[in-house]
Amino acid sequence: MNLEFDSEIKILEGKMKWKVIYFPYSVQELFNTSGKVPVQILVDGHKFEHTLLPSKNGHYLVYNEFIRREVRKEIGDQLHVILTKCEEKREVTVPDNISKVLEDHQLLEQFLGQPDYIKREQLNHIELAKKEETNIRIIYGKNVQIN
C-alpha cells in the first residue's frame, strides 16, 4: 500500500532539534503499532530507506542529510512523499572497503555485533564525509596521522 502526502519540513518539538517531516496519518490504524515502522519513501522523486519514528505529536521521518542533499529544500519548504511499509527484514550491508579496514584492525566482529540502527548511523557518518581523509579518520579513529 502506497501512502501519498505533502508535508512541510519542520523542527521536531522537544530536546532533539532535528529537521523532520510529520506523517499525516495514524500509524496505529494503518500499521497496528505505535512504535517504529521501517518504510521506503520517495521524496520529490528520490528513493530512500527510512523509518517512521513516534513522538508525542505523531510519527515523523527525519529529514536527514541524504535527503537534503538530493531534494535541496530547507525548513518551511513543502515535500511530496510517497511511503510504503517495508515488509521484509532490512539487512545492513557493510561496504567492502569499510569491512576490510575493520577486519584489518580486528574491529569487524565488534562492529557487526552492534544493533542495526547503530551500524547504519556509523556507516552513514562515514558515507557523508566529503573528503577521503575524513573517511579514513572515522574508520581508524580520530587520532590517526594521515600521510
- Mind listing the pLDDT tens digit of every residue in the chain (147 residues)? 899 999 999 999 887 888 999 999 999 999 999 999 999 999 999 999 999 999 988 999 999 988 999 999 999 999 999 999 998 887 888 989 888 888 888 888 998 998 787 787 788 777 777 566 665 666 656 544 444
Res 134: pLDDT: 61
- Strand order, beta sheet including 60-62: 46-52, 37-43, 78-85, 2-11, 19-22, 60-62
pTM over cut 0.95? no
- Whether 18 and 55 map to the same domain: the answer is yes
For residues 13 and 17, give the distance between their C-alpha atoms in angstroms, rounded to a whole number.
7
Res 82: pLDDT: 98
- Whether 130 and 74 map to the same domain: the answer is no
- Whether 13 and 75 map to the same domain: the answer is yes
- Whether 16 and 44 map to the same domain: the answer is yes
Placement of cell 518551511 in the chain: 76
- Whether 65 and 11 map to the same domain: the answer is yes
Q: Domain span at residue 101?
A: 96-140
Q: Give residue 36's identity as a one-letter amino acid code.
A: K
Q: What is the CATH number of the domain that holds 15?
A: 2.40.30.100
Is 91 a member of any domain? no
Residue 94 C-alpha cell reads as 557493510
Q: Is the dihedral of CA 135, 139, 141, 145 positive or negative?
A: negative
**Contact assessment for residue 61 and residue 21, using Cβ atoms and an 8 Å cutoff:** yes
- Whether 69 and 109 map to the same domain: the answer is no
- Whether 26 and 62 map to the same domain: the answer is yes
Classified as helix, coil or strand, 30 is helix
- Whether 104 and 67 map to the same domain: the answer is no
